[in-house]
Amino acid sequence: MEYLTNFFLPSAESTYATQVDALFHFINIVSLILLVGITFAIVYFSIKYRRKSQEDTTPVITHNTTLEVTWTVIPLILILIVFGWGFKDFVEMRTPPGDAYEVHVTAYSFGWDFEYPNGVVSANTLYVPEQTPIRLLMRARENDVLHSFFVPQFRLKQDLIPNRVTTAWFEAKRTGEFVYFCTEYCGAGHSIMNGLVKVLSQEDFDAWLEEEAGRDLDALPLAELGRITFTSAGCAGCHSLDGSSRVGPTFQGLYMAERQFTDGTSRIADEEYLLESIIYPQRQINVGYPNNMPTFYGDTLSERELAGLVEFIKELQ
Ligand code: CUA
């Protein structure tokens, strides 16, 4: 059975994952038995009772109550089992234990913010303690589109919708790193809207949370603040640091490089250009890239974070 589970599905890593799999396998196995049985019967009877000659006068049977009741009642029982079993598991998967640890999840085009009870925010990586029920309170950013949080190994999937809170919960059985995906097609950056759920021991999780909470961002040098902002503001979702092209241009070697724009003009990427591109991304569109970068101004980034990003990009030669 272990072999069968791993053959069809990723390993089951949340407390309810094995239950989900059990029902999935039950439905598959019942369907397989019915498929083989019915196919066999059709072929067998077609051959056995075929009209053997023009003179064949075997009477045609049009009705058999016993048979009809049997093939109605058996599927009915199977369907009721699937319904009852599925309903029981569904209720369990929708009902978090009362003492669940709450994390707020915000999805946007194209990234994720995870906010913990003490105000710490992690971008694109969800940190959780093992063997603890985690309740996710999820929404998509206002004026954004639908996204969906999917962790295959947890058998967890839930849509995130602007202006509405959806919830989900899970309890990871062991420490480790588990990939999550956005599983609602949401635009050009959909395919990069994935990341890791890092399941830590309670000790490691507490230490991580404390370290994050204690970090004094105002005391950091600008470039260092920019490095953190690069992740926390979600820039990492679309811009690489290693020269590879993602949804947007790479930041490596960007400073002082000549940029070509879709309106035919070009410009050297100096400090002024970098700042302007973050605040007014729609003004000049780089050739070969979509015009879909959100505006980072107003409440989104502080003046110091903006300056930090520019300094950070300058260092990436
Ligand atoms: Cu977000 Cu697909």
Mean pLDDT over all residues of the chain? 89
Q: DSSP letter at 284?
A: S
Q: DSSP letter at 56?
A: -
Helix then strand then coil, in percent of the chain rounded to 5, is 40, 20, 40
Q: How far apart are CA 82 and CA 77, in angstroms?
A: 9
Which pTM value belongs to this model? 0.72
CA 243 to ligand 1 centroid distance, Å: 24
Mean pLDDT of the region 61-70: 90
CA 170 to ligand 1 centroid distance, Å: 21
Among the atoms of ligand 1, which is closest to the Cα of residue 110?
A: 1
Pocket of ligand 1 (CB under 6 A): 147, 182, 184-186, 190, 193
Nearest-5° angle of CA 252, CA 282, CA 312?
30
Q: Encode pLDDT of 226-278 as tens digits.
A: 888 887 777 887 888 888 888 889 999 999 999 999 999 999 999 899 989 98
Number of neighbours of residue 109 by Cβ within 10 angstroms: 23
Mean pLDDT of the region 17-43: 94
Of 59-63, 163-167, 173-177, 247-251, the range with the lowest mean pLDDT is: 59-63
Q: How far apart are CA 161 and CA 165, in angstroms?
A: 7
SS3 per residue for 77-100: HHHHHHHHHHHHHHHHHHCCCCCC
C-alpha 267 chain-centroid distance:
38
Q: How far apart are CA 157 and CA 163, in angstroms?
A: 19
**Which of these, 121, 152, 141, lies nearest to 20 by C-alpha position?**
152
Residue 208 confidence class, pLDDT cut points 50, 70, 90: very high
Alpha helices in the chain (DSSP H): 2-8, 17-48, 65-94, 202-213, 222-232, 271-279, 303-315
φ/ψ of 160, rounded to 5, equals: -120, 130
pLDDT at 7 over 70: no
CA 119 to ligand 1 centroid distance, Å: 25
Mean pLDDT of the region 128-137: 95
Residue 73 confidence class, pLDDT cut points 50, 70, 90: very high
Among the atoms of ligand 1, which is closest to the Cα of residue 146?
A: 1
What is residue 3's predicted lDDT score, i.e. its pLDDT? 55
Q: List, in order of start, the domains of the chain with CATH numbers.
A: 2-94 (1.10.287.90), 101-213 (2.60.40.420), 217-315 (1.10.760.10)
What is residue 79's predicted lDDT score, i.e. its pLDDT? 95
What is residue 200's predicted lDDT score, i.e. its pLDDT? 96
Report whether 149 contacts 178 (CB < 8 A): no
Residue 4 confidence class, pLDDT cut points 50, 70, 90: low
Residue nearest to atom 1 of ligand 1 (CA): 147
Among the atoms of ligand 1, which is closest to the Cα of residue 148?
A: 1
Mean pLDDT of the region 11-27: 92
Block residue for tokens 């598959």: 28
Comparing 132 with 297, which gets the higher pLDDT?
132
Residue 301 confidence class, pLDDT cut points 50, 70, 90: confident
What is residue 150's predicted lDDT score, i.e. its pLDDT? 97
Comparing 2 with 221, which gets the higher pLDDT?
221
Among the atoms of ligand 1, which is closest to the Cα of residue 182?
A: 2
